[in-house]
Amino acid sequence: MKDLYKILGVEKSVDDNALKKAYRKLAMKHHPDKGGDEKEFKDISEAYEILSDPNKRKTYDLGGYEALDGGGAGGGNPFDIFESMFGSQGMGGMAGMPGGMGGMPGMGGIFNLSDMMGGSMGSRGQQNTVRVEKIDVTLDDLYIGSTKMVKINTNAKCKHCNAKGYLQNGKQLCDTCQGSKIITETVRMGPMIQQSRRPCPTCQQKGYTIIPGYECQKCDTKGVIPQTKRYNLNISKGNVSGKDIQLKGKGDYIPELDVQGDLVIQLQEVGHERFQRKNNDLFTQVDITLEEALCGTTYKLKHLNDTYIYLNIDKIIKPDYIIKVVGKGMPLLTDNGILYGDLLINFNIVFPHRLTSDKRKILKKVFNVEDKYSDREAEDIEYYKTLEELNLEGQEEGQHGVQCAQQ
Instruction: Output the pLDDT for position 79.
Output: 61
Low-confidence ranges of the chain (pLDDT < 50): 73, 87-126, 402, 404-405
Rounded to two decimals, the pTM is 0.54
User: 225 and 156 in contact (C-beta within 8 Å)?
Assistant: yes
Instruction: Output the pLDDT for position 147.
Output: 93
pLDDT in tens, 61-73: 777 787 676 555 4
Residue 151 bridge partners (DSSP): 230
Strands 253-254 and 192-199: unpaired
Instruction: Output the pLDDT for position 176.
Output: 92
Domains and CATH numbers, the chain: 4-123+188-195 (1.10.287.110), 230-269 (no CATH), 276-350 (2.60.260.20)
3-state secondary structure string, the chain? CCCHHHHHCCCCCCCHHHHHHHHHHHHHHHCHHHCCCHHHHHHHHHHHHHHCCHHHHHHHHHHCHHHCCCCCCCCCCHHHHHHHHHCCCCCCCHHHCCCCCCCCHHHCCEEEHHHHCCCCCCCCCCCCCEEEEEEEECHHHHHHCEEEEEEEEEEEECCCCCCCCECCCCEEECCCCCCCCEEEEEEEECCEEEEEEEECCCCCCCCEEECCCCECCCCCCCCEEEEEEEEEEEECCCCCCCCEEEECCCCCEECCCCEECEEEEEEEECCCCCCEEECCEEEEEEEEEHHHHHHCEEEEEECCCCCEEEEEECCCCCCCCEEEECCCCCEEEECCEEEECCEEEEEEEECCCCCCHHHHHHHHHHHCCCCCCCCCCCCCCCCCCCHHHHHHHHHHHHHHHHHHHHC
